[in-house]
Structure 1
Amino acid sequence: MQYSYLGKSGLKVSRLCLGTMNFGVDTEEKEAFRIMDAALDAGINFFDTANIYGWGENSGRTEEILGRWFSLGGGRRERTVLATKVYGDMHDETDGPNREGGLSAYKIRRHLEGSLRRLQTDHIELYQMHHVDRNVSWSELWGAFETAVYQGKIGYVGSSNFAGWDIAVAQGEAKTRGILGLVSEQHKYNLLCRLPELEVLPASQSLGLGVIPWSPLDGGLLAGNALRGGAGRRSGDSKRVEQHRPQLEAFGKLCDELGEREDVVALAWLLANPAVTAPITGVRTMEQFERTLRAVELKLDEAALKRLDEIFPGPGGDAPRAYAW
């Protein structure tokens, strides 16, 4: 396994991040335990979850599965760089009018305590805002996160689904307070979704955030089985497959020439980008997990990267060049 610093922090994380969104939903607990054990054995130390995973009335179930896995001991918690998120509705009636999505200091405190309890730990290495909340000032947000850092409950703060503008504002406010600020941005980014290259990736690189791509296979559309009727549950209906059929067929042909699986090439393409710290591999089975490990070893040459750009054109260049000339 290879490792990289998480943004401008001194924390080293594996170049693949184990996503746990399917645990307790599509993946039963016993299989989730096997996958997490295999991840540690393979050198993956970076695990991502969120307080709402489990979804709906079952929100929190995934964190509970991780907590029970940590409780088995054997250095599992100590070897894991744990990332979770806050923002969503936890379906807790005691949240009252603050139950809906948001990031007030009140909600951050309450939901952080809930995550720590479910995860059976006293600290979280990376605490991420699942979405931006423009109803809350950065003075309030940074005050809440600073308190949690001082209490030793979180180590670093990250964002998710932020625009380049939101990242810039957050880092500007952090600078005035003399604090580290954001160290990561978790964002949808893959061969079929390259819009982040316009603003989010350049802003993150310039302002010290490591990018953690979610949905690196676009919900299974880039996994190689979409054209055979086996797309993942998040890839949409057959309409999307037909919309991208020419690209997917050309992609499959290129992967055949390279002698590599489509999912491996899609992950390797992300890892070739210096803005990317670690794509999230949201696996459901051990077989899927084992396949992802090849991505760290695969180095795409310039010819392959050029072909991928031709098949999946980007948005036209980094900001501001794409807008100005």
Structure 2
Amino acid sequence: MTGICAGRVVVVTGAGRGLGRAHALAFAAEGARVVVNDLGVGPDGTPGPDSPAAAVAAEIRRAGGEAVAHGGDVATAEGAASLIRTAVETYGRLDTLVNNAGFLRDRMLVNLDEDDWDAVLRVHLKGHFLPLRHAAAHWRAEAGAGRPPVARIVNTSSGAGLLGSVGQGNYSAAKAGIVGLTLVAAAELARYGVQVNAVAPAARTRMTERVFAAAMAAPDTGFDAMAPENVSPLVVWLGSAGSAGVTGRVFGAEGGRITVMEGWRPGPSADTGARRTPAEAGDTALKLVARAEPPGAVYGARE
């Protein structure tokens, strides 16, 4: 097959449904050989009756592409190692890792128990770190053997991680952590030929049905702005060799809109060159806040 990812081997986690499935199909349509990972759990992370990874892999093959299914838990060291090993042993290489697996257990903070906190942080944040770590180790070995890769990692954050989201303290914290992980990985892995970016998508999936209910009820314009397939072209490009030079970035993607997200930067500042009293610190802080840009509304808020 031809396309901007022809010959590349791509791993997509959480690829059985929603955004991950759309990404896997889009990569395959652009010539990639795809490892389709999905544990096959419900939106809240509980086990489902079957894994959809095999179905997506079969769909790719029916369309003339190459794909293999992987049903391991990427939030475990064994599952993440097996995922990377599957790509290398099946296709002889690994070029792109798309971290996408996740689920929700939404609660207001006063009702959020420790198990729900740990479960969401585990799957989203640890489920990004472990595949990234094993892929990076593979690429470091390749570079050390004189085979420098043209490698790409695309992580999945969220507007909730950038702006916060009421009722999603665990999810927002995990997605903010993914941004931090992306920035560190981009800096550390550049020497091995690895570029690392993140997307903050807005799309209709099992996880976002309630958040985007208003948008989904909007009048039909002939363009399904909330379709997950709208996000995939950017992810495919970031996962291709054509994205050379773009790393350490976070992109918003919604409908036909792509936005380069600009994160924390120094704003108004004042330096006395000496220690302040608490009252002086408060007075200075209030003056600086008055000069600063107001924070954005939390994710999902409607005017």
Which TM-score band applies after superposition, normalised by the shorter structure? 0.3 to 0.5
When normalised by structure 1's length, the TM-score is 0.37
When normalised by structure 2's length, the TM-score is 0.39
